[in-house]
Amino acid sequence: MARVVIMGGGVSGHTAATFAKKWLGKKHEVVVVTPNSQWNWIPSNIWVGVGEMKKEEVVFPLAPVYKKAKIDYRQALALSIHPEGKADSDTPYITIQYTEEGRVGETEEITYDYLINATGPKLNFDATPGLGNGEGQMGSNTVSVCTADHAEHANHELKEIFEKAKEGKKQKILVGTGHGLCTCQGAAFEYIFNIEHEAKKAGVRDNIDIKWISNESFLGDFGMGGLHMKVGGYVVSSKLFAESLFAERDIPWLIGAHVSKVEEGKAHYELLDGTTGVEEFDFAMLIPPFSGVGLKAYNKNGEDITNTIFAANGFMKVDAKYDAGAYENWKASDWPRTYQNPNHKNIFAVGIAFAPPHLISKPASSVNGTPINPTPPRTGMPAGIIGKAVAHSVCDMIKQGDEAHLHEASMAEMGAACVASAGKGLTTGTAAAMTVYPVVPDFETYPGTGRDTDYTFGEVGLAGHWIKHILHHMFIYKAKLYPGWTLIPE
Amino acid sequence: MIQPIKYYPDNSINVNAGPIRSFKENYNNMLTDIIDTMKEHNLDALSAIQIGYTYQLMVIKENEEYCAYANPRIITQNKPFDSTEESIYFKNHAITVKRYEELSIVYDDKNGDMKTKKIDNKEEASTFQRKVDYLFNTTLLDRLNPNQREQAIKALAGKGIMPDKTDDYCPTFSKKEYFVSVTDKLLFFMFISLLLPLFNISKETLDGWYTYDKFAFLSVIILMISFFFYAQYEAKKYKQCTSCQIGNNIGVMLKRIISSIILTIGSYFILG
């Protein structure tokens, strides 16, 4: 019997665990270690953040699902990896610390034959002074929609702003990225338009100024260097599309911005052109930058080998080309295909947990030398596809031996679809549905643009909103492993 | 080398230009071609995409000097104004769009080093914005609202510059709208028929309207099913039509079918 341990139960980890168990059956053991007791469909958090959904609608308890699937579920935080075992044993293991009620703080070693790192990101609020509380958590100056709890809190704060606006008090809302190296612009993009939509519905839009702040060098970059959109029958760039959306809703923007410090009611920023400024706000939702979760790695002798397994940003090294050098040398082939750790063939990293070889967008720094560019998105559809591919590889290795052919899911050969909400409502909702192929531009295959323009497109409208709503129910259905769940694509 | 300039309605210009990644021989050749073409046509500015290079490079003639801007980005923009502009792409047909007078820009110079620049005069700022637009798949027409755009297209046609009729693009008006239009009219009269009992109208007349409602209900179903299949045909015919339009088409169809069912049920209880 082989044991597969999956650290993390988000989109990629849950996908990997559930498919691995389905393919391996009773003969082998699948263990999931995640500090969370609930699974969260993160794309719908923005609706919780404006009160259009309750937290309970975007989360569900993991324990009954894993019990049904016969997956060994440990509600615990993974602390360290010991790929060579320890002095008296060659069996690799990880150490975990329980977060489950009644076992909080209890530690345990779990041995593994295969390890999948799907820990996702650490929300690195403290990278920006004042954005965090100095202890790794969100501070009190801003809100976030990165987790369901954060989103619930954001909605509570937002409603207070709406109440003040109803009393005739002018309010200022700032939404965007809280650091020059953030990813996930899409979540902030959706949130700002949902706030605007709700403010209109509440009849308080006239008393609320809303502003966008982002580290993108142009609106519509989305961390992918932009894409095409089909709007009203015409093909337009995501730049024009985004600019139009903001202009039509009377939302001014600040781009190429690194938020350097946050104080109560104030965000200090530096722009790519080197200028600095302060943006005042009554309510701010600023996405934090991501980093690795801080896992440590030790060799057989107990010596720290974290640097050989993880990149400097804390994400795990996989089969990517990390020494590609200057921007001009970057290639699509630099991106990982199998997500296997180069030093330990039984360790994989999926979703946000793998270290990307470099950015997708053009790298940029301000004239003062501050890096200001979106980091590569690795969430959503790619995370699910990668999780499934790695589960397939691990299952094949268990059944056929370590020389089994590994399954590949390169983001440079993978298309992705994304639906970005711009307001919720059965008849008044709006969303932009986009597809991009490939996710990582391939400048050798598609000179100039890096993408296949026949497969990179989008459309905005009510149908997009319905699609997003349908996807919400579909993916929660799939994650709950209801009948036919394997038929629903990632 | 002088390169042929692309003129409206050549839609090969409708593509996001990629970033310049290397500032070596290819870059220099492209830059030379742009400048040669500008000199040949006596142009003050030209984007690489206008001569078929899908790269983010543009050249603006400033004080007799040809200044290259690679990977240009407009970081801040202030003081909006209406700018009446001509572009060689539209054979110098004037179109008025909204621009900003004050810009703060960043770009890469010929060595690939990032530079910054402030622009604070209308002419230079509008030229810069127009050329950046080309690099992001945006022409003057894309800066107009749908009505202004239709008018501009008609005005261009009046000058003998006709929109390209290729199968690649969805038409601005689709024949599938005829299905929707007829259906909406049928539904409107179905709705009106429900109000008739409020007036002193004979039973025979009401019976006639009830018969109309039944036929209209069937017609709506048939029309909407036909609409869907025709829309699917158009989606395949025009390559650039996206799969998302299938969602829109289903929405259009369902909305009207549900309305017809509700109205028919109402008709059954009120007129039947």
Task: Decide if B60 is inside a domain.
Answer: yes
* pLDDT string in tens for chain A (490-residue length): 899 999 999 999 999 999 999 999 999 999 999 999 999 999 999 999 999 999 999 999 999 999 999 999 999 999 999 999 998 999 999 999 999 999 999 999 999 999 999 999 999 999 999 999 999 899 999 999 999 999 999 999 999 999 999 999 999 999 999 999 998 888 999 999 999 999 999 999 999 999 999 999 999 888 888 877 656 556 678 888 889 889 999 999 999 999 999 999 999 999 999 999 999 999 999 999 999 999 999 999 999 999 999 999 899 999 999 999 988 899 999 999 999 999 999 999 999 999 999 988 888 999 899 999 998 888 778 899 999 999 999 999 999 998 899 999 999 998 888 888 888 988 888 888 888 888 898 988 888 778 887 776 677 788 888 889 999 999 999 999 999 999 888 8
User: Are B153 and B29 within one domain?
Assistant: yes
- CA B265/CA A470 separation, integer angstroms: 28
- Strand-pairing partners, residue A431, are A421, A461
Q: Do A448 and B54 lie within an 8 Å CB cutoff?
A: yes
The angle subtended at Cα A429 by Cα A423 and Cα A435, nearest 5°, is 80
Nearest chain A Cα distance for residue B241, angstroms: 7
Domain boundary among B158, B188, B220: B158
Query: Strands of A257-263's sheet, edge to edge?
Result: A257-263, A266-271, A276-280
pLDDT given for residue B243 in this prediction: 44
Sequence-ordered list of residues with C-beta below 8 angstroms from that of B201, at least 6 positions apart, any chain: none
A:154-193 residues touching chain B, CB 8 A cutoff:
none
Quote the ipTM score.
0.84
Chain A's closest residue to B24, CA to CA, is A328
Task: Decide if B167 is inside a domain.
Answer: no
- CA A428/CA A448 separation, integer angstroms: 38
pLDDT given for residue B231 in this prediction: 83
Any idea which of A133-142, A269-278, B10-19, B206-215 has the lowest mean pLDDT?
A: B10-19
Domain boundary among B158, B187, B219: B158
- CA B224/CA B217 separation, integer angstroms: 11
For B85-128, write each residue's pLDDT tens digit.
Answer: 988 898 878 899 999 999 999 999 989 899 999 999 999 999 99
CATH number reported for the structural domain that contains residue B88 in this entry: 3.90.45.10
* Pairing of β B95-108 and β A296-297: unpaired
pLDDT given for residue A117 in this prediction: 97
User: Are B132 and B183 within one domain?
Assistant: no
For A418-445, write each residue's pLDDT tens digit.
Answer: 888 888 988 888 888 888 888 898 988 8
User: Are B199 and B138 within one domain?
Assistant: no
Task: Decide if B170 is inside a domain.
Answer: no
Chain A's closest residue to B135, CA to CA, is A237
Residue A253 near chain B (CB below 8 Å) = no
For A153-211, write each residue's pLDDT tens digit.
Answer: 999 999 999 999 999 999 999 999 999 999 888 899 999 999 999 999 999 999 999 99
Sequence-ordered list of residues with C-beta below 8 angstroms from that of B109, at least 6 positions apart, any chain: B68, B70, B115
**Global confidence as pTM:** 0.83
Average pLDDT over residues B141-147: 86
| Selected residue of B77, B106, B167 to mutate for chain A interface (largest A Cβ count, 10 A) | B106
Q: Which residue has the higher pLDDT, A430 or B130?
A: B130
How many separate domains does chain B show? 2
Chain B's closest residue to A454, CA to CA, is B240
User: Are B153 and B192 within one domain?
Assistant: no
Which candidate, A174, A153, A209, places its Cα nearest to that of A281?
A174
Chain A's closest residue to B168, CA to CA, is A454
- CA B186/CA B220 separation, integer angstroms: 7
- Nearest-CB residue to A467 (from B19, B75, B247): B247
Residue A455 near chain B (CB below 8 Å) = no
User: Are B148 and B188 within one domain?
Assistant: no
Each as own residue / partner, the long-range contacts of residues A94-97 (CB below 8 Å, 24 or more positions apart, any chain) are A94/A5, A94/A7, A94/A33, A96/A33
Sequence-ordered list of residues with C-beta below 8 angstroms from that of A383, at least 6 positions apart, any chain: A10, A11, A12, A15, A350, A351, A352
User: Are B17 and B127 within one domain?
Assistant: yes
Each as own residue / partner, the long-range contacts of residues B187-191 (CB below 8 Å, 24 or more positions apart, any chain) are B187/B216, B187/B220, B187/B256, B187/B259, B187/B260, B187/B263, B189/B216, B190/B216, B190/B217, B190/B260, B190/B263, B190/B264, B190/B267, B191/B263
Task: Decide if B6 is inside a domain.
Answer: no
User: Are B79 and B148 within one domain?
Assistant: yes
User: Are B144 and B184 within one domain?
Assistant: no
pLDDT given for residue B203 in this prediction: 87
Burial of B8 (0-12, 13-18, 19+ CB in 10 A): buried
pLDDT given for residue A153 in this prediction: 97
In this structure, what are the phi and psi dihedrals at residue A487, rounded to the nearest 5 degrees? Answer: -80, -20
pLDDT given for residue B241 in this prediction: 52
Q: Do B18 and A448 lie within an 8 Å CB cutoff?
A: yes
Task: Decide if B169 is inside a domain.
Answer: no
Q: The tokens of A225 are what?
A: 């260097």
User: Are B151 and B193 within one domain?
Assistant: no
pLDDT given for residue A467 in this prediction: 87
Percent pLDDT > 90 in chain B is 54
- Nearest-CB residue to A367 (from B16, B74, B114): B114
Task: Decide if B140 is inside a domain.
Answer: yes
Residue B157 pLDDT more than 50? yes
User: Are B152 and B201 within one domain?
Assistant: no
In chain A the domains, ranked by start, together with CATH numbers, are 3-121+292-400 (3.50.50.60), 130-217+255-288 (3.50.50.60)
Which candidate, A191, A185, A7, A182, places its Cα nearest to that of A93?
A7
Task: Decide if B163 is inside a domain.
Answer: no
Nearest chain B Cα distance for residue A392, angstroms: 30
- CA B234/CA B226 separation, integer angstroms: 12
Task: Decide if B168 is inside a domain.
Answer: no
- Nearest-CB residue to B104 (from A227, A230, A273): A273
Average pLDDT, chain B: 87
End-to-end CA distance of chain A: 28
Burial of B41 (0-12, 13-18, 19+ CB in 10 A): exposed
- Split at pLDDT 50, 70, 90, the class of B167 is very low
Question: What is the radius of gyration, based on Cα positions, of chain B?
Answer: 27
User: Are B140 and B181 within one domain?
Assistant: no
User: Are B127 and B242 within one domain?
Assistant: no
Domain enclosing residue B205, as ranges: 176-270
